[in-house]
Amino acid sequence: MKPIKTLFFTIAVFVLLAGTMLVTPEEGVKIGEFNFHMPTFGEMFSTEKEEFADVSEIIEKQFDLDSLMEAESNTADSLAAKNATAIHDSLVQSIYKIDITEEGRENLARFFQKLKSGKTTRIMHYGDSQLEGDRITANLRNKLQSKFNGTGIGLRPAVQPYDFVFSAVQTNSSNWTRYPIYGNVDSLVNHNRYGVMGAFSRFAPLTFDSIPFENTVLHEAELSISKTTISFNKTREYRRMRLFYGNARSPVDLKLLVNGNVVFTETLKSNIDYDVVSCDLPPATDNVVLKFSGWDSPDIYGLELAENRGVIVDNIALRGSSGTIFTQTDFKHSTKMYSDLDPGLFILQFGGNVMPYIKDQKAIDSYGRWFAGQIKRLRQSCPNAAVIVIGPSDMSTKVKDKYVTYELLPAVVEALKKAAISTGSGYWDMYQAMGGHNSMPGWVNAKPELAAPDYVHFTPKGSTLISNMFYNAFLLEYNNYLKRAI
């Protein structure tokens, strides 16, 4: 091609691109599932760097409120004590606090009274995929058990749906199946008695009640939970096992082995919708194996490994859930299980899963009302329990070549806060606590990384940091309760 033709071709290409840039809307053109973008002239010639919130001060200012209080109380010198108090007060001011009304504080005071007494006190931490693998919960559990006593990992599903769990190693024989109440619900489940973990598990196939039951196939299954060396020490101490089950059409033999030795046997009842079996575990329990044998399988709603005193913290991660499962389950059935578990506090950490799908304020308002309905349902089952809602983190979506906060995320945060406050619950704003608008890129780009490259989930280090931030806010409320109680 001659130079003059090359020049004209190049000019034609530039004119075509410039024309396309001029006529393409800034928000792009929707083509099927794709959004076609062209840069504006301002974006093409801009020398500005990508902007996101500076979260360095938030990250660098993290501290342990327990250690701070201990250092202050151990300072004998009067001048040093004044300095320690000043440092304490300054750092306390930096804690992102729980939003709560006087009604909410009264509800929380009942829980704090029980916590202070040293009696068995249960916290049920429900959430979405931010909690998978015991993230956030593990650090919170360790801090609470270290301060208020208690051991164990709490309530666990019979089938662990996640590949990695920080606090224990769990294995199952190959014939187990998990049936969740959310997501892809199995059409063979013709009831809504799912227990309190949003799913039950079985080792024998489901059958319709209308089909006559036949004792033709003996089903045997195994479930094993072992300590892991990477978990916190308190988590590795198992003092008691409880199994929650129901809905078997034939009795099932259960053997419990500890470190390879049979320590407990029981026949699980048939034709009942709910029951629980309990067994104390010997000291130095490293491994627990449950062996089942029967013509049918019960629905297993959960397995607890904990202690008869102190704090129990359950991690109940519901991937893909927006936290609206509680009104879907059988009220009487779940209330029976809640009665045995006796939770003093529900922590509900949801909101992130609605972000890719919610389109307008009307949908946000509806979600807020639905969520308030979930809290009311939990209060019906557990009238003495307190509730703290943790809202979603900052979440980024890619717009052209930049990661920015979902446009409607602040409105979802406000809707959840309204739902919490209107029901006498506390609300901890994780979105604002981590830096607010466009803060997630700061966590992703931190060294070491505190959030994953999906710009949604925290890394293990980030989970620990955000857990510590919430714990400080929680402990501040507890300390204020103690001051009011004097």
Q: What is the mean pLDDT of residues 224-244?
A: 93
Query: How far from 49 is each of 39, 45, 480, CA to CA, in Å?
Result: 15, 12, 44
pLDDT(20) > 80: no
Q: What is the mean pLDDT of residues 457-461?
A: 95
pLDDT at 9: 62
Quote the percentage of the chain above a pLDDT of 70.
83
- 78 C-beta neighbours (distance < 10 Å), count: 8
pLDDT at 83: 46
* Rounded-to-integer distance, Cα 7 and Cα 26, Å: 30
Q: What structural domains does the chain harbor? A: 96-150+311-486 (3.40.50.1110), 151-308 (2.60.120.1360)
Q: Summarize pLDDT for 40-82 with one digit per residue, the tens.
A: 555 454 445 556 778 888 878 777 776 655 554 555 455 444 4
> Tokens in use for 368?
């807020």
pLDDT at 55: 81
Orientation angle between helical segments 361-381 and 409-422, nearest 10 degrees: 30
pLDDT at 14: 62
Region of poorest pLDDT, from 72-86, 247-261, 318-332, 453-467: 72-86
Q: What is the mean pLDDT of residues 109-126?
A: 96
Mean pLDDT (the chain, rounded): 88
Q: Which residue has the tokens 């900052």?
A: 394
pLDDT(158) > 60: yes
pLDDT at 216: 84
pLDDT(163) > 80: no
Count Cβ atoms within 10 A of the Cβ of residue 9 and give its class: 0-12 exposed, 13-18 middle, 19 or more buried.
Answer: exposed
* Rounded-to-integer distance, Cα 323 and Cα 313, Å: 18
CB 407 within 8 A of CB 361: no
Which residues touch 111 (CB under 8 Å, ≥6 apart)? 121, 344, 345, 385, 386
pLDDT at 94: 78
More confident residue, 277 or 55: 277
* Rounded-to-integer distance, Cα 389 and Cα 350, Å: 8
Look at residues 231, 226, 225, 181 and name the one whose alpha carbon lies nearest to residue 201. Answer: 181
pLDDT at 86: 45
Residue 112's SS3 state is helix
Q: What is the mean pLDDT of residues 305-314?
A: 94
Would you give the DSSP letter of residue 166?
Answer: T
Q: Which residue has the tokens 């479930």?
A: 223
Q: Which residue has the tokens 């202050």?
A: 72
Total residues found in the chain within this entry = 486
> Tokens in use for 24?
């393409």
pLDDT at 35: 52
pLDDT at 87: 47
φ, ψ for residue 56, nearest 5 deg: -60, -40
Quote the percentage of the chain above a pLDDT of 90.
72
Element (H, E) at 350: none
pLDDT at 401: 79
Orientation angle between helical segments 65-73 and 460-485, nearest 10 degrees: 50
More confident residue, 221 or 207: 221
CB 440 within 8 A of CB 396: yes
* Rounded-to-integer distance, Cα 213 and Cα 384, Å: 41
Residue 94's SS3 state is coil
pLDDT(240) > 60: yes
pLDDT at 36: 53
pLDDT(238) > 80: yes
Q: What confidence tier does 13 reach under pLDDT thresholds 50, 70, 90?
A: low
Q: Summarize pLDDT for 364-390 with one digit per residue, the tens.
A: 999 999 999 999 999 999 999 999 999
Look at residues 386, 350, 384 and name the one whose alpha carbon lies nearest to residue 368. Answer: 350
Q: What is the mean pLDDT of residues 312-331?
A: 96
Which residues touch 206 (CB under 8 Å, ≥6 apart)? 179, 186, 188, 189
Q: What is the mean pLDDT of residues 142-157?
A: 96
First to last CA, the chain: 92
pLDDT(16) > 80: no
Q: Summarize pLDDT for 405-444 with one digit per residue, the tens.
A: 999 999 999 999 999 999 999 999 999 999 999 999 999 9
